[in-house]
Amino acid sequence: AQVSNISKQMIPKVEADHKRKLSDKFFCVYLDATYIPLRRETFEREAAYIAIGIKPNGHKEVIDYCIAPSENIEVWAELLQNMKSRGLKQVELFLSDGVVGMKTALMQTYPKAHFQRC
């Protein structure tokens, strides 16, 4: 019951975080996903996506995050488009693993940004 009550209090804060205005420029943005066990109807491992940015002054910030059943480029493309619509206009460098289609998705959303696979 305690966890349920805390979760109910956090939902509006999480929703507000996903809608907040972003800085217009980040020097570097790390994009990665990892699988974590979640309890829904069953215990399944789902992909937790996260975008972490470094501003020109060196400050790090969680830009956005989401959870999906698996890691795929469609979810990444949606996340990138959401970041752009919330105000992130310029990124110098994106770092990501070898997700198929990432370079294309980045070129469509941030054509001037550089991409490095880590």
Q: Is the pLDDT of residue 23 over 80?
A: yes
**What average pLDDT does the structure give for the chain?**
93
Degrees, nearest 5: CA angle 96-102-15? 75
Domains of the chain, by residue range, sit at: 22-117
Cα-based distances in Å from 24 to 53, 94, 110: 11, 15, 12
Q: What is the mean pLDDT of the segment spanning 27-34?
A: 97
Share of the chain above pLDDT 70, in %: 100
pTM over 0.85: yes
Q: Which CATH architecture has domain 22-117?
A: 2-Layer Sandwich (3.30)
d(CA 78, CA 34): 17
